Structure 1
Amino acid sequence: MIKLSKLLKSIEVVKSFNEKEMDIKGISYNSKEVKEGYLFVCIKGYKTDGHKYIPQAIKNGAKGIIVEDVQDIPEIPQFQVKDSRKALSALSARFYGYPSKDMKVIGITGTNGKTSTSFLTNTILESHRLKTGLIGTIMVKYGSYLKPSILTTPESLDLQNYFYQMRKENISHTVMEVSSSALELNRVADVDYDIVALNNISREHIDVHGSFDEYFKIKSSLIKNIKEDGWAILNLDCPYSSSLINKTRGNVLTYGIKDKNGYLSIRDLDLSTGRAKFTVELSKFLTVGKTEYKHQKFRIELSVPGYHSVYNSLVAVSIGLLCQVPISTIQEALGSFTGVERRFQFIYDEDFKIIDDHFANSGNIDVTMETLSLMDYKNIHLVYAIRGNRGIVTNSENAETIAKWIKKLGMKGIIATKSSSHVTEKDKVSDEELRVFKEVMDREGITVYLYDKLPHAIDHALANVSSGDIILLAGCQGMDYGAQITLEKLYKLRPDLNKERLLEPLKSRIAGIA
């Protein structure tokens, strides 16, 4: 509970009406969740306008409202602001007592790799026996609490509540994914970050943000706005990430695989099995607190596959060093980490391999296919779930990138699906999205085996796979159920397999299980 006058000091009020002092017991942006003594914040969303639900909020007990558009309601205090989302963030942080200031908060953004990097980092910190929180695409987790995520980055009120709950649990370090939408919509405007990382930038969410320039501007704001004693971790191999070296107020730590001029670089990369082994070279003197890292080398052997995992692990190593985790602990943690669901995840690895991958955009596709190019195999059977509700730009670019790699790797064609059997209305593939995909494949002379339903596409791959081959289950929402369908079908075809062992990869899944 907090006095309204104290709460309002956190925002800029344009005009106030019927103002009076009172105790505020809670804040809500959903009228259904309003209780007696709450402050209701009217958010203008993509699909609806919170101002429409003011009567319901008042009926449920709202004692004051935050509006962008002044309402003719004389019986309740209302406060007009320019941006109610920005106000919601500031009010939420103030209501919960700025909880992110009481822990080390690590924000990870980028087009690709946010989820895997977050999990890798969390594993390193937990291995050092730190009490951690994790907020991201798959779940929110701290202490004994675990909840599947709806948004990559929660709405500001929910986010500040999570930090508040974490503070009560004595969480010392929180790792969170920071989406471009969260940055643009001010969900993270009042988070006190200690370390931030921009993994990479490629052409994703352009239809949402209007242009690539705007998308990069939004992403880069996380780096530019870090506090002076904070750290920004930047990828020298990504020109967009590296361009921010001199545009941040904080300290900068750089890394690269191809570019060897950063604090961290690698040598002797071996990806022959799909799982990387390499030497990390710390080439610049680094001081963090009372810990000094001089020029040194140390070996990393990853249990997770993928060329992109090398990049993700370098970010995690960087964060581990900045959190003063011993190098031996970092090595052990990375070696024991078994991966994140649907991030180049080996779900079957015996006579042939089945890999499940969140094949989201052209950048993601490039690193996934480059990893395959470094592996030993006979044939690749690519089962691709076309992206629904992402527009023609993303689908055209995805198709162009896939076509490029199909030719490079000498593949026989592509198995594609609309996944109409396993997506909601929100993620259905439109006629235009299907058209641009087929146009690219037809132009490049690539054979497409197109299936409306996901199980039928998987049947095609399993019917044609041979020893030494790779089946790649590739796609986002449309392929979420691909692993379960594939392994269950494989068991029916091969009842000699140990069912419990075969289905083991599905046990820890948060999503994609029917």
Structure 2
Amino acid sequence: MVAQNPDTPRELERYLRPENTAGLGFDQLCGTAGAVRTGALLNAAPQILGVSLNPQIVQPGDVFLGISGAKRHGAEFVETAVANGAVAMITDTAGLEFLGDGLSIPVAVVADVRKSAAAIAQNVYGTDQRSPKLFGVTGTNGKTTTTYMIRAILDALGEETGLIGTIEMSARGQIIPSVLTTPESTQLHGVLARMAQQDVSSVAMEVSSHSLSYGRVDSLRFAVSGYTNLTQDHLDLHGTMDEYFETKAQLFTAERSERAVVMVDDQYGQRLAERALVPTETLSLDEAHPSAYWRVTELAHSGLGHSFTLRHRDGRELRARTLLPGMFNVANGALAAVMVLASGVELDTLQRALNAGDPLSVAVPGRMQVVGESPVAVVDFAHNSDALAKALDSIRPGEQGRRIVVFGATGERDKTKRPDMGAVAARHADIVIVTDDDPHGEDPAPIREQVASGAQQVLDTERPGVQVHNIAPRAKAVEFAVSLAHANDAILVAGRGHEVSQDVAGIDVELDDRVELAKALNLHGFVTNS
């Protein structure tokens, strides 16, 4: 159930904070934040009801945090913040230069506003005193599905739950759109305070590398943090895989987490388990890691997914299944189950929840979402090489059937992965259709050509039977894929998942892969799932 459809970011902001707060005196806030009062209004002591980094979304009673941005300083827009109801401001020394003599609200200064923002929000919203139990999931792939599975398990256990992630935020079934994979720290503390008011007991949250780099999860402590995997992505932000890893590893410290569960089926997971600074349980799907605390055994097909047993090295066992396709969803389900167990739930209690509710089969929008079954037709968010390979391997065509993939690469992001994604597609599919993803400000044609070049190289040197096509726009590419398909084939439309518009030169163009795939299947006489 959707609480409401906010028309503007300022209206959305109301749902990202508690419905009411007791308020905190500005002087008291400055004392806890280490902020020094300055300016002409030293005697003004308003009650602070909220916190905002963005002058456009300030609510009445807020303290506005004037932060230095990439191009402009937030303090330049203080008058907008005041007009929207800001009653005080905290900024840095650079921000003071933009303040006129006639400013009508008191001001305080800290050395680094972004680093202070989470602690300020924590004090205003009281999340240091009352907050739901937090489950954090990080890694390149699998964060969204794992958090959905954690929430489904907790629901089956009878808890009141919340979710914060890429697709949605929810509290006890009330859903509002997410603004980021992880909101800004001020919004995150606000929404957690709102959830606490609604008696939400546990929240499953995606923790992206961006959120760690930009301090969005500062001043939070997770009951259990989980790690999925690490593959090439976001190098436009981090530069190298080692830097990407070091950012993720920040979550697994005593400051941020009480306990951890780490998948050790890649080298980064093994490194993380060795250096984690909190009690850590390890998990593996691979027989090459017999020392892992938990192992996945007795794997068997169950519908489009798998049943499996989780066996601890001390002999304890959990039996589970997921109807979601792919071994990576076995990994996601196993991680979710062990994280809930690590939070203190009894093994027998968890087993009953897994048996009764089938929580690991929860539908996740745009994540291995089955649109049709003859041919198998799936939409997935896979947008890097590793995820694409695993998604392709997970779809099973019928006898003598072919794998058909439609995908592209995002503009203004890591360009080095484009030919590699094309090569991966050509190694794992029989028909490769390269199209546009989100070009953003780039010319889409060269992006497609860079992706197709990787596929062509595999065709020339390894798999001469592979078909490679370069087709735009994306809806046309999806329809072309279905036009080539037989009932025993399998089609994967990858890269965009739940997203409903493309960013083309700054314009949002309406497009939903699930809708386009269903339309194409119907057009060519195939049956779709309702």
TM-score where L is the length of structure 1:
0.86
Aligned to 1:11, which of 33, 44, 53?
A: 33
User: 1:359 aligns to what SS in structure 2?
Assistant: coil
Residue matched to 1:73 = 100
User: 1:366 aligns to what SS in structure 2?
Assistant: helix
What is the CA–CA distance in structure 1 between the aligned matches of 2:443 and 2:332, rounded to whole Å?
30
Aligned residue identity for 1:481: D
Unaligned ranges ≥5, structure 2 = 1-22, 461-465, 503-509
Deviation at 1:279, TM superposition (A): 2.0
Aligned to 1:345, which of 369, 373, 378?
A: 369
2:234 and 2:414 in contact (8 A); partners too: no
What is the CA–CA distance in structure 2 between the aligned matches of 1:359 and 1:458, rounded to whole Å?
16
Query: After superposition, what is the alpha-carbon deviation per residue over 1:4-31, rounded to whole angstroms, capped at 9, x for unaligned?
Result: 1221233233774443333223322222
Residue matched to 2:53 = 29
Residue matched to 2:291 = 261
What is the CA–CA distance in structure 2 between the aligned matches of 1:375 and 1:332, rounded to whole Å?
31
What is the CA–CA distance in structure 2 between the aligned matches of 1:271 and 1:63, rounded to whole Å?
60
Aligned to 2:472, which of 452, 466, 482?
A: 452
2:153 and 2:354 in contact (8 A); partners too: yes
Aligned residue identity for 1:347: V
Aligned residue identity for 2:46: M
Deviation at 1:332, TM superposition (A): 3.6
Aligned to 1:236, which of 264, 275, 298?
A: 264
Residue matched to 1:381 = 404
Query: After superposition, what is the alpha-carbon deviation per residue over 1:181-204, rounded to whole angstroms, capped at 9, x for unaligned?
Result: 111111110112111011111111
1:107 and 1:193 in contact (8 A); partners too: yes
Deviation at 1:303, TM superposition (A): 1.4
Is 1:483 equivalent to 2:514 in the alignment? yes
Residue matched to 2:422 = 399
1:359–1:405: structure 2 CA closer, same or farther, 3 Å change rule? same
Is 1:201 equivalent to 2:256 in the alignment? no
Deviation at 1:355, TM superposition (A): 1.2
Residue matched to 2:10 = none
1:403–1:44: structure 2 CA closer, same or farther, 3 Å change rule? farther
1:226 and 1:248 in contact (8 A); partners too: no
Aligned to 1:64, which of 84, 88, 106?
A: 88
User: 1:494 aligns to what SS in structure 2?
Assistant: coil
Aligned residue identity for 1:378: G
What's the RMSD between the two structures over aligned residues? Answer: 2.6
Deviation at 1:106, TM superposition (A): 0.7
What is the CA–CA distance in structure 1 between the aligned matches of 2:443 and 2:119, rounded to whole Å?
38
Residue matched to 2:329 = 309
Deviation at 1:369, TM superposition (A): 2.8
Deviation at 1:253, TM superposition (A): 1.1
Is 1:54 equivalent to 2:78 in the alignment? yes
User: Counterparts in 2 of 1:60-459, with a 5 A limit?
Assistant: 60-68=84-92, 69=94, 70-71=96-97, 72-74=99-101, 75=103, 76-98=105-127, 101-226=130-255, 230-258=258-286, 259-271=289-301, 274-284=304-314, 295-323=315-343, 324=345, 325-334=349-358, 337-349=361-373, 351-372=374-395, 378-406=401-429, 411=430, 413-418=431-436, 426=440, 430-444=444-458, 445=460, 447-459=467-479
What is the CA–CA distance in structure 1 between the aligned matches of 2:486 and 2:52, rounded to whole Å?
56
User: 2:181 aligns to what SS in structure 1?
Assistant: coil
What is the CA–CA distance in structure 2 between the aligned matches of 1:276 and 1:47, rounded to whole Å?
50
Deviation at 1:454, TM superposition (A): 1.5
Deviation at 1:264, TM superposition (A): 1.2
1:493–1:403: structure 2 CA closer, same or farther, 3 Å change rule? closer
What is the CA–CA distance in structure 2 between the aligned matches of 1:302 and 1:15, rounded to whole Å?
56
User: 2:158 aligns to what SS in structure 1?
Assistant: coil
User: 2:364 aligns to what SS in structure 1?
Assistant: coil
User: 1:305 aligns to what SS in structure 2?
Assistant: coil
1:357–1:143: structure 2 CA closer, same or farther, 3 Å change rule? same
Residue matched to 2:18 = none
1:417 and 1:451 in contact (8 A); partners too: yes
Query: After superposition, what is the alpha-carbon deviation per residue over 1:397-443, rounded to whole angstroms, capped at 9, x for unaligned?
Result: 3223223324xxxx1x3112125xxx5x7376645533421322232
TM-score where L is the length of structure 2:
0.83
User: 1:213 aligns to what SS in structure 2?
Assistant: helix
What is the CA–CA distance in structure 1 between the aligned matches of 2:240 and 2:73, rounded to whole Å?
25
Deviation at 1:82, TM superposition (A): 3.0
Deviation at 1:47, TM superposition (A): 5.8
Aligned residue identity for 1:111: T
Deviation at 1:143, TM superposition (A): 1.9
Deviation at 1:283, TM superposition (A): 1.7
Query: After superposition, what is the alpha-carbon deviation per residue over 1:475-505, rounded to whole angstroms, capped at 9, x for unaligned?
Result: 125696111112123223338x5xxxx353x
Residue matched to 1:512 = none
Residue matched to 1:508 = none
Deviation at 1:271, TM superposition (A): 4.2
Aligned to 2:523, which of 492, 496, 499?
A: 492
**Which segment is superposed worse, 22-31 or 425-434?**
425-434
Aligned residue identity for 1:440: G
1:320 and 1:330 in contact (8 A); partners too: no
Aligned residue identity for 1:436: Q
User: 1:6 aligns to what SS in structure 2?
Assistant: helix
1:46–1:360: structure 2 CA closer, same or farther, 3 Å change rule? farther
